[in-house]
Chains A and B, each alone.
Chain A
Amino acid sequence: MDYDVLIIGAGMSGLAAGIRLAYYDKRVCIVEKHHRVGGLNSFYNLRGRKFDVGLHAVTNYVPKGVKLTPLPKLLRQLKLKREDFALCPQRVSAIKFPDKTLKFNNDLDFFVQDVVDNFTAQADNFQRLLKTIFEYDELNLYAKPISAREVVGSIISDPLLIDMVFCPLMFYGNAQENDIEFGQFVIMFKGIYCEGFARPQAGVRQILDVLVRKYRSCGGELKTRCAVTSIQAANNRIESVTLDNGEVLTANRILSSAGYVETMRLLSNYDPTGIEDKAGQLSMVEFITVLNRQPAEMGHETTIIFYNNSDRFDYRNLTS
C-alpha cells in the first residue's frame, strides 16, 4: 500500500483529518484537484486584492478561557494555538426583515434582550426555547431526526420571530430547503447566537496556512493539482484511486471530502440509482462590491446583515 490513508480534498475537513492521522503516525496523502487548498472555503486574488470564497465569518467564536465549546476543542484536537488564527470578534450583526430588525453580537443576553424588546409577547416562549436548546444533546449521533420548524413552532407562536431566528442559521448551516433538522438547528443556534462570529485578520488563508503547516510538520503529504478521476472498487472494497495524470495510488483507507454524490460518481462500478437524487438542491451566488473607504466611515458598523425582503423567509431553490 502506498499509504495508510488517502484523503480526497484539501478543504478544512480533509486537512483536519490529515492532521490527526499524520500526528498519530499514519502515512497520509491528501490529493487536491485545485492548485490551492481550502475547497469551499478557499481564497483568491483579483486585481491586486485578496478575497475569500465561501462563508465569510467563523462561527463558534468564544473568548480565551471558555472551555468545552467546539472552538477550543477543535484547537486542542488539532494541537493548534488560538493565536495562530488571529480571530477578530464581530461587533454586531443584524437580521433585517421588512417589518422588523433584530440585532445580535457575541453576547447571548444582548440578542435575548433585542428579541424581548421586539416581540414582547414571546418573551416567556423565547426563554422556554432557550431551555429546550440547552437541554438537547445535539452531539448524539443516534438521535432520531426531528424537524426544527416543528419543535420551535410548538414553543414560539409568532411566525415572524421563528423566521427571523432561523434566517442566519439556515445560511450558515443548512443544505435543506425550508426546514432544518433540530439537532443541526441547536448546533447552529449555539454556534451563532450563544457563541458568536469572528474573522481571521488576514482572511481564511490565515487559517488554511496554519492547517497546511501543521499537517506537513506531522509528516503528511499534500498533492495539489491532482484530481481523482476514478476509484477502483470491487466486491465492496476500494482497490486503488487513479489521478488525472495517470498515476495510481493505493491506500488501506480512503476518506473523501468531495461530497457524497461527487465521490460515488468516481467509483468504477458506479450505479446512479438512489444516489443522484441526493445531490444538493441549494447553491449560493455571491456579488462582491469593493469600496474606496471603510464601511465605518459611511456610518456602517454592522458585521453581517441577513436580509429578507419578502413576508416569509423562503429558504429554497428558486425553481422548486
Chain B
Amino acid sequence: MTKEEIKSVLMGIVAEIIPDEDLTNLKDDIPIREQVELDSMDFLDIVMELRKRYSVEVPEDDYMQLATIDSSVAYLEPRMRDL
C-alpha cells in the first residue's frame, strides 16, 4: 500500500467510527483529537479495526504515535506497505 492508500484506509475507519463528525477539512499535522470529538473508546476502536481488517498490531506504548494523520501514516507505512 502507498502512503495515500494507507491514509485513505485510516480516514475510512475514522469516518465509520465517528460518522457524525465533519472530517472534510481535517489538518494532517494537528492532533486529530483536537479537531474532532474522538474519545478514548473511539481511539481504541480505530486500533481494533486496524487489527481486524489489516492484522496491524498497535501496542499500547505506540498509541501516542497515532496522534496526527501524518504521524499515523508514518507509523503504519512500514506495517502496511506489503498489504
Residue of A nearest to B37 (CB): A68
A76 neighbours in B (Cβ, 8 Å): 17-19
Let me know if B48 is at the binding interface, CB within 8 A: yes
Interface size on B, residues (CB 8 A): 11
* CB within 8 Å for A25 and B17 given contacts A67-B37, A77-B41, A77-B45: no
Give the CA-CA distance A72 to B41 in the complex, in Å: 13
On whether A25 and B20 interact (CB within 8 A), knowing A67-B37, A68-B37, A77-B45, the answer reads no
Enumerate chain B residues within 8 angstroms of A67, measured Cβ to Cβ. 20, 37
Q: Is the CB of A24 within 8 A of B17?
A: no
Interface size class of A (residues with CB under 8 A): under 10
Contact B37 A24 (CB under 8 A): no
Residues of B within 8 A of A77 (CB): 41, 45
Also in contact, A72 and B20, with CB within 8 A (given A67-B37, A77-B41)? yes
A24-B20 in contact (CB<8A): no
Cβ contacts under 8 Å, A24 to chain B: 48, 51-52
Residues of B in contact with A (beta carbons under 8 Å apart): 17-20, 37, 39, 41, 45, 48, 51-52
Interface residues, chain A, CB within 8 Å of chain B?
24-25, 67-68, 72-73, 76-77
6 tightest CB-CB pairs across the interface, nearest first? A24-B48, A67-B20, A24-B52, A25-B52, A68-B37, A77-B41
